[in-house]
């Protein structure tokens, strides 16, 4: 933590204010998508497990991190690779675009927090080092503040007039989320409780038990005061930030849940230790669609402008269209069948590696 304070001041100019981009409304039904399997680096002997994803608000760049320490920039339309960012020394666990899409934040096991600049050709514009392992970074809705949490009990804040790092009554912090107004910042982790802060003055607004096991991810539902959280206890919890109460809990056992993405103000996608994505109607409290295709745990979901992207242990990134009439359904197509045919003989070995990584990951939880 020795370098945190001097670097904090330099970062003030990297997270300047701007007008936030409007969010397009999202329809609810699922239709045909595409799949790509990420290639290995020249220095690696395996395809990378997907560990994190983020998409810029304009839907122009999909950033995908793997366990090979690199970040790939993909074209969201056909999932082709358009760039690769090298700047971490260990696994990258979290990615976040600033709301104007001009800065990409990345962090993970190496204690580095990188800010990559679009204007500079995606070079590192700012870097903080000697931080704990970080599991989640997020920008505030106005882009003036960056929050980060990780393996210890500190909530780190970067930005003009931000309060000092804030202590949290929980270690192994896994996720954080801002309310769309910027007035509230929620933090979750191992304890199963939600910790609420005022990100402007650093006030601790309370601790709220909402799960019986480690909370892995959460997201704000657009146009509402609700947060949706997912946990290793197999439940989805909806928490109202204004009233400080649970409005609904949806049990999806026996699946442990690792990731959640908001599709609209009443619909979310969740996934975890099973091979499928579940589309959940939060008002009805039930699953309305299953999206099948992955062959292993799913670590990351991201939604933008009617499209859902997923990634996980099977080393694939999958694109699922959301919208259109009829019942929710999903079909997979391969954009590069020649490559897939050539890679067929590698898949048995890939599946074995996936199983081994899942065993290692399970042992570290």
Question: What does the pLDDT look like over 240-259, one tens digit per residue?
Answer: 999 999 999 999 988 999 99
Residue 96 has pLDDT above 80, yes or no: yes
CA angle 79, 229, 238 (to 5 degrees): 125
Cis ω for the linkage preceding 241 (within 30 of 0): no
What pLDDT is attached to residue 209?
97
244-265 b/e (C-beta count within 10 Å ≥ 16 → b) = eebeeebebeebbbbbbbbbbb
Helix, coil or strand: residue 238: strand
Q: How distant, in Å, are the alpha carbons of 34, 144, 280, 300 from that of 77? A: 9, 30, 25, 18
Please compute the mean of the pLDDT values over residues 281-302 and round it to a whole number.
Answer: 94
Domain that holds residue 162: 4-364
Q: What is the mean pLDDT of the chain?
A: 84
Place of tokens 């008002």: 283
Residue 195 has pLDDT above 70, yes or no: yes
Residue 356 has pLDDT above 90, yes or no: no
Question: Whole-angstrom Cα distance, residue 120 to residue 271?
Answer: 35
Q: What is the pTM of this model?
A: 0.82
317-326 confidence digits (pLDDT tens): 999 987 544 4
Q: Domain tally for the chain? A: 1
CATH code of 357's domain: 2.130.10.10
């Amino acid at each position: 933590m020795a370098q945190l304070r001097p670097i904090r001041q330099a970062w003030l100019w990297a997270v300047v204010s701007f007008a936030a981009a409007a969010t397009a409304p999202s329809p609810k039904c699922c239709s045909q998508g595409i799949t790509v399997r990420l290639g290995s680096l020249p220095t690696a002997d395996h395809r990378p497990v997907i560990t994190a994803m983020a998409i810029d608000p304009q839907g122009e760049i999909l950033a995908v991190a793997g366990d090979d320490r690199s970040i790939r920039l993909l074209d969201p339309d056909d999932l082709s690779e358009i760039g690769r960012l090298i700047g971490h020394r260990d696994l990258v666990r979290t990615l976040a675009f600033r709301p104007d899409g001009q800065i990409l934040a990345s962090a993970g096991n190496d204690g580095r927090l990188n800010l990559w600049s679009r204007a500079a050709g995606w070079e590192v514009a700012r870097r903080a080092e000697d931080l704990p392992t970080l599991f989640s970074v997020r920008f505030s809705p106005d882009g003036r503040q960056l929050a980060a949490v990780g393996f210890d009990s500190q909530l780190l804040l970067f930005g003009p007039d931000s309060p000092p790092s804030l202590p949290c009554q929980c270690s192994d912090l896994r996720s954080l989320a801002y309310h769309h107004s910027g007035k509230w910042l929620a933090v979750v982790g191992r304890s199963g409780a939600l910790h609420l802060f005022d990100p402007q003055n650093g006030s601790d607004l309370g601790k709220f038990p909402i799960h019986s096991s480690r909370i892995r991810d959460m997201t704000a539902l657009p146009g509402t005061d609700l947060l949706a959280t997912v946990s290793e206890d197999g439940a989805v919890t909806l928490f109202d930030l204004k009233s400080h109460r649970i409005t609904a809990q949806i049990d999806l056992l026996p699946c442990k849940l690792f990731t959640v993405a908001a599709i609209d103000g009443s619909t979310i996608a969740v996934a975890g230790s099973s091979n499928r994505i579940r589309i959940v109607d939060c008002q009805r409290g039930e699953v309305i669609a299953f999206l099948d295709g992955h062959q292993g745990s799913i670590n990351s979901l991201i939604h933008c402008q009617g499209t859902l992207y997923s990634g996980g242990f099977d080393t694939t990134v999958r694109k699922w269209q959301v919208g259109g009439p009829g019942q929710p359904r999903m079909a997979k197509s391969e954009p590069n069948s020649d490559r897939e045919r050539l890679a067929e003989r590698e898949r048995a070995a890939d599946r074995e590696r996936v199983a081994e990584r899942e065993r290692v990951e399970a042992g570290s939880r």
